[in-house]
Amino acid sequence: MAAKLKFEALKIGDEIPKFVIEGVTRPDFVRYAGASGDFVPLHYDQAFVEAAGIPTVFAQGMFTAGLLSKALTDWAGIGNVRQFKVRFSTRVWPGDTVTCTGKVTNKVEKNGEKLVEGDLVVLNQKGETAIKGSFRAAAA
């Protein structure tokens, strides 16, 4: 678990360390399907996706969101995350490199708790946004 965030030390604009996965794979998608129960054939069945007019399988949105949540929890500590929201923008394909990061946009005290808020993003190797999101995390 990450060290507890220090409210006074954090500044607006501070960045969450990047978490990069180079070359996501079909087996990654299949393992995620097994863990999550998301067995929609779009994520593992090449014949199915071709029949649907899609060139190849692609990652489950929540697979990619899970990578983003790892970047956040590695930085903030899993027990400190109070809110995590995502919106999917584009698909992640086999072979894509995904970069997950974020930045602090606000510091607030609410109900006696010190909180940091921020924006999150997942980009592919072309710089396209796969996910935009936001977070709120407790700080000491």
Q: Specify if 7 maps to a domain.
A: no
* Strand 98-110, strand 81-88: pairing: unpaired
Residue 37, domain member (yes or no) = yes
d(CA 56, CA 54): 6
How far is Cα 105 from Cα 51, in angstroms, rounded to an integer?
44
**Domain range holding 33?**
15-139
Please give the Cα distance from 21 to 72 (Å, whole number): 15
Which CATH number covers residue 110?
A: 3.10.129.10
Looking at the structure of the chain, the number of domains it has is: 1
Residue 22 pLDDT greater than 70, yes or no: yes
Structure confidence at residue 59 (pLDDT): 98
pLDDT tens string 81-138: 999 999 999 999 999 999 999 999 999 999 999 999 999 999 999 999 999 999 999 9
Complete edge-to-edge strand list for the sheet that includes strand 129-139: 15-21, 98-110, 113-123, 129-139, 81-88
